[in-house]
Amino acid sequence: MVGTAHVYQIYIAATPEEVWRAITDSDWTRKYFHHTSFVEPPVAGAAYRTVTADGRDAVEGTIEEMTPPTPGRPGRFVQTWHVLYDAALAAEPPGHVEWTIEGVGEGLTRVRLVHGDLAYSPLTWAHVKDGWVWIIDALKTLLETGRPLPSPDS
């Protein structure tokens, strides 16, 4: 059965600020997010687009919220998510991607990712389901070891 959302949670041995930088800064996203980067640095309320290493469109949407983490308050990075890297997925309506970055101890951060509003996007729902597990794994590996997770196909 196709659901409306995927939810993922992981603990990363890094500060909330380090995790925040990794999800919002292209120098970091390139190292774990299938080599994709933001065309322009993301700004709250503005449109964004990400591209692959060879310049092809990956994802586009709007940055709905961009609240960096501060002591005692979780960071929130919320985007609409319209896939461009595949024609069939691009034909489906955009979903929502919400990162919540919360410090839960000295040098420990809880990262929650919700990819929602997928009720009318069954192909995207199925496609990103396992994809996010890999991204989150790669994010954790990069932040904890300083090295990117090798791609399964390389």
- In the complex, which residues of this chain contact other proteins (CB under 8 A)? 1, 3-11, 112, 114, 130, 133, 136-137
**CB nearer to other proteins: pick between 59 and 118:** 118
Q: How far is the CB of 136 from other proteins (least distance, A)?
A: 6
Which of 16/42 has CB closer to other proteins?
16
The CA-based angle 100-133-85, given to 5 degrees, is 95
Minimum distance from residue 116 beta carbon to other proteins (Å): 9
- In the bound state with other proteins, the residue whose beta carbon lies nearer, of 76 and 112, is 112
CB of 51 to other proteins, least distance (A): 27
- Name the helix (H) or strand (E) containing 112: strand 108-116
Tell which residue, 64, 115, 107, has the closest CA to residue 89: 115
Listed in sequence order, the residues at least 6 apart from 122 whose beta carbon sits closer than 8 Å to its beta carbon are 2, 92
**Shortest Å, Cβ 4 to other proteins:** 6
- Residue nearer to other proteins on the CB measure, 89 or 111: 111
- Please list, in sequence order, all residues whose beta carbon lies within 8 angstroms of the beta carbon of residue 128, skipping any fewer than 6 positions away: 6, 115
- Count other C-beta atoms under 10 Å from residue 70's C-beta: 11
